[in-house]
Amino acid sequence: MSKDKNEWGSNMSFILAMIGSAVGLGNIWRYPYVLYSNGGGAFYIPYIVAILIMGIPFLILEYGVGYNFKSSFSKALTKISSKWEYLGWLLPVAVFMIMIYYSAILGWDGIYIFMSFFKGWGADPNAYFTSTLLHASDSYTGLASFVPLIAVSMIVGWVIIWFISHRDLEKGLGRVSKVLVPALFIIMVIIVGFSLTLPGASVGLAELFHPNWSLLTDFGIWMAAFGQIVFSLSLGMSIAFTYASYTKDDADLVTNTISIALANSLFENFAALGVFSILGYMSLQSGIPVADIVTQGTGLVFIVYPTVFNVLGQWAYVLGPLFFFTVYLAGLTSILSTIEPLSFSIQNKFGLTRKRTMTILIIVGAICSMIYATSYGSNVLGYVDTFINQIALLLGVVLECIIFAWVFKAEKLIDFMNARSKTIKLGKWWLVIVKYILPIFITVVWIGGIIDVVNSATFDQLVFTIIIAAILLIATLIFTLLPAKSSDWNETEERV
């Protein structure tokens, strides 16, 4: 395996690919709702605190350790101590599971791009999405009924991913990020600019930002802010780690982190302006209060938006395709990042080339993703999403924090990072955050998430959660136990 196949051509490729990973569906369909339902304007206080005490310090840590090792996540963890190898595979496999369900959402969105040219969802977007398109069924017998249109659209997505990912890093992901990420921001500015001119936009925005200060003493909004930042910045997922290990020797990681966190927040707040202007417009047209229309996730993108486009007249034929295309781009630049940690780990341990590893993983991913092309698929998607985001990844963040800050020793990074940093310098404050505040805080959020899942889960959800957890744990075990094929698996270059 030649190293240059896994190296960024420039710092700009690294930053843009990282922004591409961070800016995804979470920014478009999750954040606006989180902001609205957690105190509106008052949410900015926990949000900014979460960025300052978690987002930035943790990203610096993950980058720093990744940069130091110049190797994959599993290889580095094995180097830190061979007893951590299992965790070294757990996160990359969990992130690969995200990839598989993200491909389904991309698949749905691909169909909507097409439909939006002629409002193909008809007069009742809700019925279209759940019945006509997904053939959604609440019974697991739906696993036996296959929906070919969705399968085809998902496979198109996998082919695009393969086309980009199987190339050398800079020639594929690097170049694509340099084009798609700026394009994503530009299209978003156009959409938001247009949305702000709609009648009723100000009603939506007033509703969004109306601050509910009393919520600040509510623990829930603090949890929501921390959860949002973990998801949105793709923290602790071994993605930042892997991307930093691909950098050349002179990167200013501290300054890069600040740029990435700023770009991510800018994008999601911008998205919130767009979403609520449009909801305000719809409220004005229909007389239904914003509070009764607002929702998040697939409901927002695939039901509320088409409903708005139905009342928007001719403009919908421009705004609709533009909107679904933006969602596609945001999803694509994120999904491309989800294969990197596992792919690089496999290349390191088993001595396969980047091209071959990507091809195998994409075929496996595409086959597994077909479960989402069944009538029960959207239910499974919900279960996997909840399990991975509320349970598996938060645990990953806590463990990563402990291993990097305590076992690896975050102190080792300070001089080295400061020597390159043109902006802030790391000091004791950073160590206190990554060693104490973060592990404690995230553990609390993690426990809160588990309680939430257990309290709200249906029987089917619990059964599926156990199956999903078993798949994750067994796949991880297999990667850990398979003997290394690469002679340098136990030799890792360190830069610090």
Q: Which residues bind ligand PHE (CB under 6 A)?
A: 21-22, 24-27, 95, 98, 231-232, 234, 237, 239, 334, 337-338
Alpha helices in 351-488 (DSSP H): 354-369, 377-386, 393-402, 411-420, 428-432, 438-456, 459-481
Closest to 15 measured CA to CA, from 173, 238, 235, 172: 173
- Residue placing its CB nearer to ligand PHE in the complex, 27 or 347: 27
- Residue placing its CB nearer to ligand PHE in the complex, 243 or 479: 243
Closest distance to ligand PHE from the beta carbon of 21 (Å):
5
Closest to 165 measured CA to CA, from 175, 156, 155: 175
- Residue placing its CB nearer to ligand PHE in the complex, 99 or 251: 99
- Residue placing its CB nearer to ligand PHE in the complex, 265 or 307: 265
- Residue placing its CB nearer to ligand PHE in the complex, 26 or 88: 26
- Residue placing its CB nearer to ligand PHE in the complex, 54 or 284: 54
Query: Residue 113 phi/psi, 5° resolution?
Result: -60, -45
Closest distance to ligand PHE from the beta carbon of 112 (Å):
17
Please give the biggest Cα pair distance in the chain: 68
Query: Residue 122 phi/psi, 5° resolution?
Result: 70, -165
Who's near 42: CB < 8 A, 6+ residues apart? 211, 212, 213, 215, 216, 221
Closest distance to ligand PHE from the beta carbon of 31 (Å):
8
- Residue placing its CB nearer to ligand PHE in the complex, 128 or 270: 270
Closest to 138 measured CA to CA, from 418, 459, 492, 363: 459
- Residue placing its CB nearer to ligand PHE in the complex, 240 or 426: 240
**Token pair of 367 as six digits:** 């086959």
- Residue placing its CB nearer to ligand PHE in the complex, 26 or 64: 26
Closest distance to ligand PHE from the beta carbon of 206 (Å):
26
Mind giving me the DSSP string for 69-123? H-S-HHHHHHHH-GGGHHHHHHHHHHHHHHHHHHHHHHHHHHHHHHHHTTTTT-S
Who's near 94: CB < 8 A, 6+ residues apart? 237, 388, 392, 393, 396, 472
Closest distance to ligand PHE from the beta carbon of 330 (Å):
7
Q: What is the SS3 assignment for 32?
A: helix
Closest distance to ligand PHE from the beta carbon of 24 (Å):
3
On the 0-12 / 13-18 / 19+ scale of CB atoms within 10 A, 289 is exposed
Q: Taking the CA of residue 47 as centre, how many other CA atoms within 13 Å lie in the half-sphere pointing to its CB?
A: 22
- Measured CA distances, 180 to 16, 327, 329, 395 (Å): 9, 12, 7, 32
Closest distance to ligand PHE from the beta carbon of 388 (Å):
8
Closest distance to ligand PHE from the beta carbon of 389 (Å):
8
- Residue placing its CB nearer to ligand PHE in the complex, 25 or 51: 25
Measured distance CA(12)–CA(9) in Å, rounded: 8
Closest distance to ligand PHE from the beta carbon of 237 (Å):
5
SS3 of 145-199? CECHHHHHHHHHHHHHHHHHHCCCCHHHHHHHHHHHHHHHHHHHHHHHHHHHCCC
Closest to 403 measured CA to CA, from 69, 50, 17: 69
Closest distance to ligand PHE from the beta carbon of 253 (Å):
19
Closest distance to ligand PHE from the beta carbon of 135 (Å):
26
- Residue placing its CB nearer to ligand PHE in the complex, 215 or 300: 300
Closest distance to ligand PHE from the beta carbon of 99 (Å):
8
Mind giving me the DSSP string for 375-406? TTHHHHHHHHHHIIIIIIHHHHHHHHHHIIII
**Token pair of 221 as six digits:** 């909004």
- Residue placing its CB nearer to ligand PHE in the complex, 98 or 394: 98
Q: Report which residue type is found at 171.
A: K
**Token pair of 159 as six digits:** 């082919």
